Amino acid sequence: MTAALAANAVLDRVYLEIRCKLLDVAACLDRVERAEGGDRVQSDPRLMQIKQGIGILSSGQLDRAERIQMLFSDAYIANWNRREKPATNGAERR
């Protein structure tokens, strides 16, 4: 199934919505920065993640939402279930 609307019709629908959300993000970032200790949280990893996310927004390609999801995701560890050491927390491994 593909999108049923043409791009200009989609843009007509979402333009004000995007504008509103951008303003929300801008105001939230301002709020953090002008709060007491705002300068000290500038290196908080969460804020760094958010800034990376903003970078993804302004990049090209179609998968911006998926890339932002991955930015906020823990890494998968391949073969996590095939380690040979016994568990130390009472759980059983297979």
Task: Write out the residues near other proteins by the rule CB under 8 A.
Answer: 1-5, 10, 13, 63, 65-66, 69-70, 72-77, 80-81, 87, 89-94
* Residue keyed to tokens 């919505």: 17
The three-class DSSP label of residue 66 is helix
State in angstroms the smallest separation of the CB of 59 from other proteins.
15
Radius of gyration over alpha carbons of the chain, in Å?
Answer: 21
| CB nearer to other proteins: pick between 52 and 69 | 69
State in angstroms the smallest separation of the CB of 26 from other proteins.
19
Q: Which two tokens stand for residue 37?
A: 């200790």
Q: Which amino acid is at 25?
A: V
| CB nearer to other proteins: pick between 12 and 33 | 12
The answer to whether the beta carbons of residues 53 and 71 sit under 8 Å apart is: yes
| CB nearer to other proteins: pick between 10 and 41 | 10
